[in-house]
């Protein structure tokens, strides 16, 4: 059974040897992704891919991790989650270079940003936070399935608790419909992140996948250009009072990625650190979860490499 008590977690002492393991982390050029890369690199994985959209920032982040962990087997992987072509290219690079994938950390994300569509026409936050990661997961599934003990960690948040009665407005996910503001767009994408992990677990019972909430963490999600006044208010009036440092905020995803498998249950959602609360609200909406799964599968039809 999953733990219901908050465990102490010290990355230096509690992350086991990662010798022989292959890891991929999205959004690894800064914030939680970069900190995860640094902490995991200290434990000697055979290969750690730090994926990011910007080659300049990604290469700089890799160099910083290597400087702090001499000899670490860390490499940059160019990955723009708002482009299916970029996702396919990144997945092919990984598939061609390794026969295993032990940890896939779906960490990257956007929050409350100005309205925009992805290359395939999805609203940028749902397109990046959910659809991009769903395609990447689908393409790397063969590696995960052939790797004993492989696990996937999906970055959700507590935002799903603030979804309105509209839940996920599917008819707006491929448009810039102004009825749905940037913050609500973000909330919908985080609802998708946690429900999709639950559905993925049900459809792939041989793979361990969980979603996690890192808590409110001081990352550049809260410093990027706001999409509207609601997001601006969050950045200036709310966030500074509640955020924690990255070194603390990273603990939940590191726990989820490396804790003994018997401490996790596939499909569940964990809050900091390693705490599974009884499902409530949208987490109990099996009809919505099934609709999200079906909608996503239909959107990804034909997207193979």
Asked if 134 and 152 touch (Cβ cutoff 8 Å), the reply is no
Enumerate the β-bridge partners of residue 244: 217
Note whether residue 3 is domain-resident: no
User: Rounded distance, CA 71 to CA 181, Å?
Assistant: 46
CA-only gyration radius of the chain, Å: 18
Mean pLDDT of 102-125: 93
Note whether residue 274 is domain-resident: yes
In this prediction, residue 229 carries a pLDDT of: 58
Could you count the other beta carbons within 10 Å of the beta carbon of residue 243? 17
Least confident of 103-107, 140-144, 243-247, 249-253: 243-247
Note whether residue 19 is domain-resident: yes
Half-sphere exposure of 123 (CA within 13 A, CB side): 30
CATH of the domain at 289: 3.40.50.720
Enumerate the β-bridge partners of residue 75: 49
Note whether residue 124 is domain-resident: yes
Please state the domain count of the chain: 1
Distance spanning both ends of the chain, measured CA to CA = 38
Distances (CA, A) of 1 to 106, 110, 266, 276: 24, 33, 11, 10
Using alpha carbons, select from 253, 254, 294, 267 the residue that is nearest to residue 206: 267
* Maximum mean pLDDT: which of 4-18, 65-79, 205-219: 65-79
Note whether residue 305 is domain-resident: no
Q: In the structure, what pLDDT confidence band is assigned to residue 1 with cuts at 50, 70 and 90?
A: very low
In this prediction, residue 166 carries a pLDDT of: 76
The single residue listed with the structure tokens 């599934």 is: 141
More confident residue, 230 or 254: 254
| Element spanning 139, H or E | helix 133-145
Catalytic residues: 186
Model confidence pLDDT, tens digit, residues 34-67: 999 999 999 999 999 999 999 999 999 999 999 9
Query: 192 lies in which domain range?
Result: 11-299
pLDDT at 302 over 60: yes
User: Rounded distance, CA 153 to CA 255, Å?
Assistant: 10
Q: In the structure, what pLDDT confidence band is assigned to residue 112 with cuts at 50, 70 and 90?
A: confident
DSSP H helical segments within 22-174, as ranges? 31-41, 55-68, 84-97, 124-126, 133-145
User: Rounded distance, CA 41 to CA 73, Å?
Assistant: 8
| Element spanning 210, H or E | strand 208-212
Note whether residue 34 is domain-resident: yes
Asked if 220 and 109 touch (Cβ cutoff 8 Å), the reply is no
């Amino acid at each position: 059974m999953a733990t219901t008590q908050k465990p102490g977690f010290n990355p230096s002492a509690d992350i086991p040897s990662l010798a022989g393991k292959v890891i991929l982390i999205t959004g690894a050029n800064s914030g939680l992704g970069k900190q995860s890369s640094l902490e995991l690199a200290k434990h000697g994985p055979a290969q750690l891919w730090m994926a990011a959209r910007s080659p300049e920032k990604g290469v700089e982040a890799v160099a910083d991790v290597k400087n702090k962990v001499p000899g670490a087997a860390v490499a940059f992987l160019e990955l723009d989650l708002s482009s299916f072509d970029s996702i396919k290219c990144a997945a092919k690079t990984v598939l061609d270079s390794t026969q295993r994938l032990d940890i896939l950390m779906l960490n990257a994300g956007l929050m409350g940003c100005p309205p925009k569509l992805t290359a395939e026409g999805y609203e940028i936050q749902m397109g990046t936070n959910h659809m991009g990661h769903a395609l990447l997961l689908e393409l790397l599934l063969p590696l995960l399935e052939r790797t004993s003990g492989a696990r996937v960690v999906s970055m959700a948040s507590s935002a799903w608790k603030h979804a309105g009665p509209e839940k996920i407005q599917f008819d707006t996910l491929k448009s810039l419909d102004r009825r749905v503001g940037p913050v609500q767009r973000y909330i919908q994408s985080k609802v998708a992140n946690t429900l999709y992990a639950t559905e993925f677990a049900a459809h792939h019972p041989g793979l361990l996948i969980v979603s996690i909430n890192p808590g409110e963490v001081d990352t550049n999600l809260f410093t990027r250009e706001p999409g509207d006044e609601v997001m601006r208010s969050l950045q200036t009036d709310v966030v500074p009072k509640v955020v924690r440092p990255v070194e603390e905020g990273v603990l939940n995803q590191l726990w989820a990625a490396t804790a003994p498998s018997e401490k996790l249950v596939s499909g569940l959602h964990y809050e900091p650190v390693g705490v599974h609360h009884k499902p409530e609200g949208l987490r109990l909406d099996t009809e919505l979860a099934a609709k999200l799964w079906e909608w996503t599968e239909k959107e990804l039809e034909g997207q193979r490499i």
